[in-house]
């Protein structure tokens, strides 16, 4: 039984560290000073307590008494740390309390909250399968009840055997025939019912998992860009995979084993008490005691198992990083170092796994002894009852089998308890993001008819802070106009906010103050999907392609585009020739993120992808800065063509690419610090002139003469 209990725990990955309270407990354990220095430990404990109190009070509405909604961990933490701090530094404790109550933080604290399980969403996913679930429950209950019958019939059969052994009269076969047939039927029915409910549960579980994954994926894709700034992709993918998987397994296990175990325990206990109340009483005392000891041992082994899993994950992470960045590893000739690094992690895995193996061996040895002692104890006590004619041999047999069923079921239930906690927290993680609604919807709002669309963009007194860094203002009263059909270049120091301007224009974020308009319409009133899908073309420094064909990658800009439109866009982007030189042409698979293409080729595909939607406004964010001179020339030709007749915002470091723009804006610290044409800014002798002077040292061509009319500015520049 104990072995069974532990096995299920390990197999099911019963990991207490991922339980509801793990983060909380971790945060408290973090206050332990590594060097054991008490006062520094105390100060950290103090800070911990203070921030937890503060976080707690900041989310409790003033009308609500804190005691009612305080999470258990908060009060547990307070109870553990409070007296220590109070005893050592009473004033510090009061200070913490006052600060927590009176001084709400200037900026929202990024909270690591454990979200609640959303029963409403769970019901939403379960509802379509209620009928099937009902059928599964009936079958599971049926199987459990049949299981209760088996020991009783077995006992009767043993009675027949005993009688025949004693008396040797009559035919054993004919006497035992009915009972044996009955038993065979019970076995068959039990097998069929088990098959039935497991198939139904698997059907429900798999379908629910697909529904949940679909809903979560769709919800994730709709979240604000700010949401992705704050989350790690791995975390999100893990919610889609591991958490859904864990929730599904827990759900299936709870319904199948939970129901079955409860029914079996109840049924068998009734049978047992009818067979022998004294033996049943003994069993009720011994079994829970042994289970308690087993659970304690099992939990420390599970902790060890979790450490093992974490170590394996660490080793996998090392291998993953090395293989994922194999080019960098090769470029730095670090293969040997990576091998050693991975080897060291594997060695740690081995040590931990061996320790776990020893623990399991000890556990299994002890539980075998306990199990055998229980059988022996039942036989001895039961035997004395048989000797005193208070019990028949058959009843004793029935008792033994039924008590085994009770023990197994109780073991299952205790494991199931952990599984429920894990399932609920996995479900909470899955449902958490489903219930989130983005601040910027994907669609909705009006659009400007194509024939009226001019492409005049203005930024009016725009201030902006990224949501994940609310205290840091990236743009301050930023004002800029992009006239229709003109090229405006943004230059300036790194981190000055140039890319942020482009992100606001794409409406990845909304300004904190001021507004961005298109032809006089506030972007917030326009349909974002129309804006991004039809009005704005965005080409960045590192184009990201999808691991499919060239044709599909270009079509990503306009799903309904015909092949002719794809070819036209590729020609416009200077890409048609190189695509046709590939044996598979437009059906060439570009590899993961486009790894089988050169930087210049990738960039030209990205341009084709942006041009296929015939955007009115084009944003070029350092589009050529990652390319060598030859690739840059080819890509630049494509960009020159693409820019004609469109409103273009160029963001560039290399001033050679912007000097002939109609308007150049120099940004510093989130503000416009100079603006004008190349000549005007040079004459002014300000920041732009200084930047030019510095770059001219590297690029003597910058001093070349300018065209008189910047109709297609770069064409001229690239001819010079
Ligand atoms: N997603 C983000 N979340 C929080 N802060 C950000 C984010 N993106 C940029 N920032 C910060 O905003 C500031 C402006 O960044 P931005 O990328 O707009 O500058 P930039 O002028 O384009 O710089 P570069 O020329 O180096 O590309 C920087 O301080 C940067 O750290």
Find out whether the beta carbon of 619 lies less than 6 Å from any atom of ligand 1.
Answer: no
Provide the pLDDT for residue 697: 60
For ligand 1, the distance from its centroid to the CA atom of residue 499, given in whole angstroms, is: 7
Identify which of 491, 495, 653, 670 to mutate to test ligand 1's pocket (most ligand atoms within 8 A of the CB).
495
Geometric angle at alpha carbon 541, from 537 and 544, rounded to 5°: 75
Count the Cβ atoms, other than its own, within 10 Å of residue 465.
Answer: 20
For ligand 1, the distance from its centroid to the CA atom of residue 5, given in whole angstroms, is: 53
CA-to-CA distance for 75 and 71, rounded, in angstroms? 7
Find out whether the beta carbon of 473 lies less than 6 Å from any atom of ligand 1.
Answer: no
Q: What is the sign, positive or negative, of the torsion defined by CA atoms of 93, 96, 99, 102?
A: negative
Q: Which atom of ligand 1 lies closest to the CA of 469?
A: 4
Cβ distance 427 to 247 under 8 Å?
yes
CA-to-CA distance for 659 and 491, rounded, in angstroms? 10
Q: Name residues whose C-beta falls within 8 Å of residue 661's C-beta, 6 or more positions apart in sequence.
A: 487, 488, 489, 650, 677, 678, 710, 713
Find out whether the beta carbon of 514 lies less than 6 Å from any atom of ligand 1.
Answer: no
Query: Can you name the residues that pair with 518 across neighbouring β-strands?
Result: 457, 521
For ligand 1, the distance from its centroid to the CA atom of residue 497, given in whole angstroms, is: 6
For ligand 1, the distance from its centroid to the CA atom of residue 670, given in whole angstroms, is: 10
Q: Name residues whose C-beta falls within 8 Å of residue 154's C-beta, 6 or more positions apart in sequence.
A: 183, 397, 398, 401
Q: Which helix (H) or strand (E) holds 676?
A: strand 671-676
Percent of the chain as helix, strand, coil, to the nearest 5? 70, 10, 25
Provide the pLDDT for residue 601: 87
Residue nearest to atom 23 of ligand 1 (CA): 495
Provide the pLDDT for residue 206: 93
For ligand 1, the distance from its centroid to the CA atom of residue 87, given in whole angstroms, is: 47
Find out whether the beta carbon of 501 lies less than 6 Å from any atom of ligand 1.
Answer: no
Find out whether the beta carbon of 466 lies less than 6 Å from any atom of ligand 1.
Answer: yes
Identify which of 464, 467, 498, 620 to mutate to test ligand 1's pocket (most ligand atoms within 8 A of the CB).
498
Residue nearest to atom 31 of ligand 1 (CA): 495
CA-to-CA distance for 150 and 190, rounded, in angstroms? 10
Cβ distance 620 to 651 under 8 Å?
yes
The candidate with the shortest Cα–Cα distance to 664, out of 682, 652, 676, is 676
Provide the pLDDT for residue 526: 92
Q: Give the chain's residues under pLDDT 50.
A: 1-113, 701-720
Q: Which atom of ligand 1 lies closest to the CA of 651?
A: 22
Query: Start-end ranges of CATH 3.40.50.300 in the chain?
Result: 452-545+612-719
Identify which of 474, 476, 491 to mutate to test ligand 1's pocket (most ligand atoms within 8 A of the CB).
474
CA-to-CA distance for 151 and 271, rounded, in angstroms? 9
Query: Start-end ranges of CATH 1.20.1560.10 in the chain?
Result: 119-434
For ligand 1, the distance from its centroid to the CA atom of residue 532, given in whole angstroms, is: 21
Tell me 549's DSSP state.
B
CATH architecture of 119-434: Up-down Bundle (1.20)
Query: pLDDT per residue over 397-427, tens digit each?
Result: 888 888 888 878 877 887 787 778 778 888 8
Q: What is residue 674's three-state secondary structure? A: strand
In 129-158, which positions are buried (b, 16+ CB within 10 angstroms) versus exposed (e)?
Answer: beeebeebbebbbbbbbbbbbbbbbbbbbb
Provide the pLDDT for residue 303: 82
For ligand 1, the distance from its centroid to the CA atom of residue 498, given in whole angstroms, is: 8
Complex confidence, ipTM? 0.96
Find out whether the beta carbon of 230 lies less than 6 Å from any atom of ligand 1.
Answer: no
> At CB < 8 A and 24+ separation, what contacts does 576-584 make?
578/604, 579/550, 582/550, 584/549
Geometric angle at alpha carbon 48, from 46 and 49, rounded to 5°: 65
Identify which of 232, 496, 671 to mutate to test ligand 1's pocket (most ligand atoms within 8 A of the CB).
496
Find out whether the beta carbon of 468 lies less than 6 Å from any atom of ligand 1.
Answer: yes
Query: pLDDT per residue over 653-688, tens digit each?
Result: 777 778 778 899 999 888 888 888 888 888 888 888
For ligand 1, the distance from its centroid to the CA atom of residue 500, given in whole angstroms, is: 6
Identify which of 500, 508, 655, 691 to mutate to test ligand 1's pocket (most ligand atoms within 8 A of the CB).
500
Find out whether the beta carbon of 670 lies less than 6 Å from any atom of ligand 1.
Answer: no
Count the Cβ atoms, other than its own, within 10 Å of residue 610.
Answer: 26
CATH placement of domain 452-545+612-719: 3.40.50.300
Provide the pLDDT for residue 421: 78
The candidate with the shortest Cα–Cα distance to 352, out of 313, 311, 303, is 311
Find out whether the beta carbon of 414 lies less than 6 Å from any atom of ligand 1.
Answer: no
């Amino acid at each position: 039984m104990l072995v069974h209990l532990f096995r299920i725990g390990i197999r099911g990955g019963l990991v207490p560290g991922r339980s509801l309270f793990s983060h909380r407990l971790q945060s408290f354990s973090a206050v332990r000073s590594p060097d054991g220095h008490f006062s520094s430990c105390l100060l950290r404990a103090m800070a911990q307590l203070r921030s937890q109190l503060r976080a707690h009070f900041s989310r409790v509405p003033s009308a609500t008494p804190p005691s009612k909604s305080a999470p258990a961990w908060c009060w547990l933490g307070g109870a553990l740390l409070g007296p220590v701090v109070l005893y050592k530094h009473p004033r510090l404790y009061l200070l913490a309390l006052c600060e927590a109550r009176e001084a709400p933080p200037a900026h929202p604290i990024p909270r690591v909250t454990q979200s609640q399980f959303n029963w409403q969403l769970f019901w939403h996913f379960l509802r379509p399968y209620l009928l099937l679930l009902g059928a599964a429950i009936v079958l599971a209950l049926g199987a459990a009840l049949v299981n209760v019958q088996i020991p009783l019939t077995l006992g009767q059969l043993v009675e027949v055997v005993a009688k025949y052994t004693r008396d040797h009269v009559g035919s054993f076969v004919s006497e035992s025939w009915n009972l044996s047939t009955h038993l065979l039927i019970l076995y068959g029915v039990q097998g069929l019912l088990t098959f039935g409910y497991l198939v139904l549960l698997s059907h429900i579980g798999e379908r629910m998992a697909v529904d949940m994954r679909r809903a979560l994926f769709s919800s994730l894709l709709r979240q604000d860009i700010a949401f992705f700034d704050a989350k790690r992709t791995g975390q999100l993918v893990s919610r889609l995979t591991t958490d859904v998987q864990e929730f599904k397994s827990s759900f299936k296990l709870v319904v199948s084993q939970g129901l079955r175990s409860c029914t079996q325990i109840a049924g068998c206990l009734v049978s047992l008490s009818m067979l022998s109340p004294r033996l049943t009483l003994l069993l009720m005392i011994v079994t829970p005691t042994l289970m308690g000891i087993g659970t304690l041992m099992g939990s420390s082994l599970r902790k060890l198992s979790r450490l093992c899993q974490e170590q394996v994950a660490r080793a996998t992470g090392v291998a993953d990083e090395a293989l994922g960045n194999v080019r960098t590893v090769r470029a730095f000739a670090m293969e040997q170092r990576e091998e050693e690094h991975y080897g060291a992690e594997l060695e740690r895995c081995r040590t931990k796994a061996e320790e776990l193996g020893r623990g399991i061996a000890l556990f299994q040895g002890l539980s075998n002894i306990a199990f055998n002692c229980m059988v022996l104890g039942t036989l001895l006590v039961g035997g004395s009852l048989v000797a005193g004619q208070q019990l028949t041999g058959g009843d004793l047999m029935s008792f033994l089998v039924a008590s085994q069923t009770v023990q197994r079921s109780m073991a299952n239930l205790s494991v199931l308890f952990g599984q429920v906690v894990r399932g609920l927290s996995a479900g909470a993680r899955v449902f958490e993001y489903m219930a989130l609604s983005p601040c910027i919807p994907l669609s909705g709002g009006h659009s400007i008819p194509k024939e009226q669309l001019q492409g005049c963009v203005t930024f009016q007194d725009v201030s902006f802070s990224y949501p994940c860094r609310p205290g840091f203002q990236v743009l301050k009263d930023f004002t800029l106009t992009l006239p229709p059909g003109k090229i405006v270049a943004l230059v300036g120091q790194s981190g000055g906010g140039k890319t942020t301007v482009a992100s606001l224009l794409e409406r990845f974020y909304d300004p904190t103050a001021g507004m961005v308009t298109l032809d006089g319409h506030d972007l917030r009133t326009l349909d974002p999907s129309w804006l991004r899908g039809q009005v704005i073309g965005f080409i960045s420094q590192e184009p990201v392609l999808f691991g499919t064909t060239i044709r599909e990658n270009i079509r990503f800009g306009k799903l309904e585009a015909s092949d002719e439109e794809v070819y036209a866009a590729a020609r416009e982007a200077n890409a048609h020739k190189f695509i046709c030189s590939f044996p598979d042409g437009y059906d060439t698979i570009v590899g993961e993120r486009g790894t089988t293409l050169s930087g210049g080729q990738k960039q030209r595909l990205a341009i084709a992808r942006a041009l296929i939607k015939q955007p009115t406004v084009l944003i070029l964010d350092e589009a050529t800065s990652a390319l060598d001179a030859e690739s840059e020339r080819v890509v630049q030709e494509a960009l020159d063509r693409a820019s004609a007749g469109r409103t273009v915002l160029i963001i560039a470091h290399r001033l050679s690419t912007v000097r002939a723009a109609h308007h150049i804006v120099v940004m510093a610290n989130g503000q416009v610090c100079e603006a004008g044409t190349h000549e005007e800014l040079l004459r002014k002798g300000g920041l732009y002139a200084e930047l030019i002077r510095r770059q001219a040292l590297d690029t003597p061509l910058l001093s070349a003469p300018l065209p008189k009319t910047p109709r297609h500015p770069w064409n001229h520049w690239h001819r010079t």
